[in-house]
Amino acid sequence: MIRRWSLSARASLLLGAIGCAHTPPRSHDDLVERTVYQHTATTPPSRPMDVVTFTAPPTPPGLDGPQPVSVYIRRALAENRTVQAAYHNVKSLKYRIPQVTVLDDPVASNTIFPIPSVAPQYSLMGYNPYNLTLAQQFPWYGTLRLRGEAATEDVKVALAELAAAQLDAVAVVKRSYYDLYTGQRTVEILNENRKILEDFRSIAKSRLTTGGTQQDVIRSEILISQLDRESANAEQAVASARAALSRQLHVSPESDLRTLPELSLGAAPAEVERLDAMAIAARPELRGRLAAIARDEKGVELAQKRFYPNVTLGLTYMDMEKTNAATPKTASGFPNVGLFVGFNLPVYRDKYRAGVCEAKERALADSKLYEAQRDETFAEIKDFSTQAKAQQKNLDLLRGSILPRTRDTLELARSDYAKSNSDYATVLSAAREVLQLQLQITQVEGELGKALASLERAVGVQINGPDATPEPSPPGPLPPPSPDGGPFKPTADPK
């Protein structure tokens, strides 16, 4: 009895210690200090108003100087933090599948009866000091499979979000690239026209001795000053576009990001219906909505499983002692082993019916969201394709007929002014018109590029082959992370 009582007492004390042990409460300030992100390269701030100094990541050597847009796109797909966050969200949801497809932990319990006089007594077996119970619950047939299928559909939704994040990064890179090109070309055009105006000013000064007026010289200087002001605004636009592009590339805003001198833009697609069909098959938002609908259908089946009971199987071990038994002469002291079966009674049918209705309504809501996303996609495709066609037409007219004639007019006016056959106002008007047309062509080029980029984003796939732009990875097997932490390894430059 002494040995058995010692074991029981030790078990009781051990269970009591486990149940009563707890961590002393922490203050709210301590919790915040452990939660807030601390930069590993600096000392955590000791005062509330201290800040951690952050150094912008350096620019890789391959990004300096003029680069095609495909180089920046590959960098964004590898280093864009929003894309990486979506990637790790997919990874986290993949780890959920093995959690929902296995049984819950078995339950072990031990009931101790330390006082023999009031403990269970059996005439044939003796005194019962404790009972040890092991139990395992089994959900109704098919429940675990449905949970795994629903979790798999969640992964597909996250994969669609990853593909959408990639497409967003590509679209923003392209739009920023075209804004940067517009700003750079504007600065170049203004500098070229400044040289032309300086030439006109020289001509006006040379004519002062042959009947010219000082007023012509002053007008030239005023126009040069106006060009300098416009150049300052253009430089500001270049800096803004460069900062927007650097954000997508995860590099310093001070990086010397530049575009190629000439753009290679594709033509606006003519068949909108073909683009609509491509978007239905390829746009990740639509695929994500379909995956959400499939997940909700599994949710309906799971809700219907709640009408059936969960089964619990268990094993009970009862220790028996002759010592302290009420009838020690007849008690055998042999332990007893028992098996039990239990299940819950799903009697509250209205609750389970409500759960099924909730799951069905959620599936209907996601189906309506799919239709809304499809309608939005069709509207965006129509809008951006119309914009691209209009910009393409304007660009062809400006380049093909309007600008050449305006340049011819400027050359004639300049020649006539040098020969004293026209006034200086005619020359300045022609020069101003050429400048405005050059700036307008540059602006239309940038707007055409952005319209095509937005159109590709609405469709979900690349629609212009000559650009050699790498397409984002579609939902499917996850790509391996790059050595520096990004989810994608940059590919070689296209030749």
Q: Where are the domains of the chain?
A: 104-138+310-343
Assign 20 to helix, strand or coil.
Answer: helix
Q: Are 370 and 293 in contact (CB under 8 A)?
A: yes
Closest alpha carbon to 177 in 34, 294, 67, 94: 67
CA distance 82 to 167: 11
- Reported pTM: 0.74
Q: What is the largest CA-CA distance in the chain?
A: 145
DSSP-assigned states of every residue in 357-368: HHHHHHHHHHHH
Q: For the chain, give the number of residues.
A: 495
Distance, CA of 285 to chain centre: 12
Closest alpha carbon to 381 in 271, 266, 289, 284: 271
DSSP-assigned states of every residue in 222-287: HHHHHHHHHHHHHHHHHHHHHHHHHHHHTS-TTS-EE--SS--PPPPPS-HHHHHHHHHHH-HHHH
Q: Is 460 left (phi over 0), alpha (psi -120 to 50) or beta?
A: left
Assign 35 to helix, strand or coil.
Answer: helix
Residue bearing tokens 């150094």 = 55
CA distance 172 to 185: 20
Residue bearing tokens 């997940």 = 295
- Give the per-residue pLDDT at 418: 67
Read off the tokens for 32: 């915040």
- Give the per-residue pLDDT at 20: 44
- Give the per-residue pLDDT at 103: 93
Closest alpha carbon to 128 in 318, 315, 331, 334: 318
CA distance 7 to 306: 42
Give the number of other CB atoms < 10 A from CB of residue 105.
8
**pLDDT tens sequence for the chain (495 residues):** 444 444 444 444 444 443 444 444 444 344 334 333 333 344 444 444 444 445 566 777 778 788 899 999 999 999 899 999 999 999 999 999 999 999 999 999 998 988 887 788 787 888 888 899 999 999 999 999 999 999 999 999 999 999 999 999 999 999 999 999 999 999 988 888 888 777 777 777 776 766 667 777 787 788 888 888 888 998 999 999 999 999 999 888 888 889 998 888 777 777 788 889 899 999 999 999 999 999 999 999 999 999 999 999 999 998 888 888 888 878 888 888 999 999 999 999 999 999 999 999 999 999 999 999 999 999 999 999 999 999 989 988 988 888 888 888 878 877 776 666 666 677 778 878 888 888 898 899 999 999 999 999 999 988 764 443 444 444 344 444 443 333 333 333 333
Q: Are 381 and 276 in contact (CB under 8 A)?
A: yes
CA distance 14 to 10: 6
Q: Are 60 and 482 in contact (CB under 8 A)?
A: no
CA distance 420 to 422: 6
Amino acid at 43: T
Q: Are 39 and 52 in contact (CB under 8 A)?
A: yes
Give the number of other CB atoms < 10 A from CB of residue 269.
18
Closest alpha carbon to 284 in 406, 161, 188, 184: 161
Distance, CA of 214 to chain centre: 62
- Give the per-residue pLDDT at 174: 93
- Give the per-residue pLDDT at 211: 63
CA distance 149 to 298: 7
Consecutive H or E run containing 154: helix 143-206
**Cα–Cα–Cα angle for 113, 117, 119, rounded to 5 degrees:** 30
DSSP 398: I
- Give the per-residue pLDDT at 4: 45
Read off the tokens for 342: 């239990």
Closest alpha carbon to 243 in 342, 308, 176: 176
Which residue(s) pair with 127 in the sheet? 121, 321
